[in-house]
Amino acid sequence: GEDVEQSLFLSVREGDSSVINCTYTDSSSTYLYWYKQEPGAGLQLLTYIFSNMDMKQDQRLTVLLNKKDKHLSLRIADTQTGDSAIYFCAEEGGSSNTGKLIFGQGTTLQVKP
Amino acid sequence: EAQVTQNPRYLITVTGKKLTVTCSQNMNHEYMSWYRQDPGLGLRQIYYSMNVEVTDKGDVPEGYKVSRKEKRNFPLILESPSPNQTSLYFCASSLGRPYGDVLTFGAGSRLTVL
């Protein structure tokens, strides 16, 4: 079945780059997403990538997609304390026609000053 | 402001006492969905609706009901809540599904069932 896996925790120093990794199983996924959840808040879409792309850059964010290995990563350059949050990877499409997003468990990013 | 509004944001209730979590969107979106978030499990879809009067089960529908009588509203009903329904619930909407149309999430409703 469809599954998305993420590591649960990442700690970095302010100013360093953060890389959050995600693997998925559905090879027919069409879109892959990164959402950010701050404490007590809903999910905020950070960025998404279409499955025929290898990379997408948006200011401090870089998304890399390796479709062969079903691996997605989110790189945050010059990480700030305001980036501390839970980051969810999600996939959509392929075998499901329900519009459902399959989410990973979420990676808690801790940014130390 | 374009948004998805959920109420209540926090609720503590007891086993068996029926409750409804409301969800309303002001973006004229056709697609609406409910998710629950549990530690270590990410978000899982409960129910979704492609349009008015069209609803269907997601991955974890047991113990829940929904209705979609109007485009803007998609309430989640727990007829007889149980402690295993203690969770953080999110409503989400988008223009249409599937594929690539961005889901907008509400702020979440934290439910505790004693």
- Tens of pLDDT along chain A (113 residues) come to 678 999 899 999 999 999 999 999 887 778 899 999 998 888 999 999 988 899 999 999 999 999 999 999 999 999 999 999 999 999 886 555 667 788 999 999 999 99
- Which pLDDT does position B41 carry in this prediction? 86
The chain A residue lying nearest B40, using CA atoms, is: A105
Its sign, for the CA torsion B68, B70, B72, B78, is negative
B59-100 per-position pLDDT tens digit: 999 999 999 999 999 999 999 999 999 999 999 998 876 555
Candidates A8, A43, A56, A108: best to mutate against B (most CBs of B within 10 A) is A43
Q: B43 and A105: CB-CB below 8 Å?
A: no
How high is the mean pLDDT of chain B? 92
- Which pLDDT does position A93 carry in this prediction? 61
User: Is there a contact between A109 and A83 (Cβ–Cβ < 8 Å)?
Assistant: yes
Instruction: Report cis status (omega within 30 of 0) of the bond before B8.
Output: yes
- Which pLDDT does position A97 carry in this prediction? 64
Instruction: Closest CB to B43: pick one of A30, A45, A103.
Output: A103
- Which pLDDT does position A29 carry in this prediction? 76
Q: How confident is the model at residue B39 (pLDDT cuts 50, 70, 90)?
A: confident
The chain B residue lying nearest A51, using CA atoms, is: B100
Considering only CA atoms, which of B3, B46, B36 is closest in space to residue B111?
B36
Q: How confident is the model at residue B2 (pLDDT cuts 50, 70, 90)?
A: confident
